[in-house]
Structure 1
Amino acid sequence: MGAGDKISNKIDDAGGKAKEALGKASGDKSTENEGKVDQAKSSLKDAGEKIKDAFKS
């Protein structure tokens, strides 16, 4: 997994957490759920990169 991918995934995760918190604070369930989805996508991308790295070894 490249450093750029790690950074991108961390940024996506942080953005998702911020969006979720904003949704909770404002009572906007749609924004809160979008934040959760962004975090899940980040986790999946991270897992996919780890699998790719395992097969490269």
Structure 2
Amino acid sequence: MGLGDKISNATDKAVGGAKDKLGDATDNPDLQAEGKAQNTEGHAKQAGESVKDAAKDVKDGLK
């Protein structure tokens, strides 16, 4: 996983978490849902990148 991907995924998780908390604090369910979705997207992207990295490591180990 490239550094840019790591930063982007971490940003999605952090901003999503902040939106979720702000939505909760302001009783704004739309903002809360948007935050949860963005946070989940960041986690999913990170998991996908980890799978790609693991596959590359296996491929490199077979050489």
**Which TM-score band (shorter chain)?**
over 0.9
| Corresponding position of 1:5 | 5
Structure 2 residues not aligned, in runs of 5+: 58-63
How far the C-alpha of 1:3 sits from its partner, in A, is: 1.0
Alpha-carbon displacement from aligned partner over 1:1-57 (angstroms, at most 9, x marks no partner): 111111111111111011111101110011101101101000000000000011111
TM-score under structure 1 normalisation?
A: 0.94
Distance 1:17 1:40 in 2: 9
The AA in structure 2 aligned to 1:14 is A
- Number of residue pairs matched? 57
Distance 2:27 2:54 in 1: 42
Flag as ranges the 4+ runs of structure 1 deviating above 6 A: none
Structure 1 residues not aligned, in runs of 5+: none
The AA in structure 2 aligned to 1:39 is N
- Say if 2:28 is the partner of 1:36: no
Structure 1 vs Structure 2 CA RMSD = 0.7
Tell me which structure has the larger Cα radius of gyration.
2
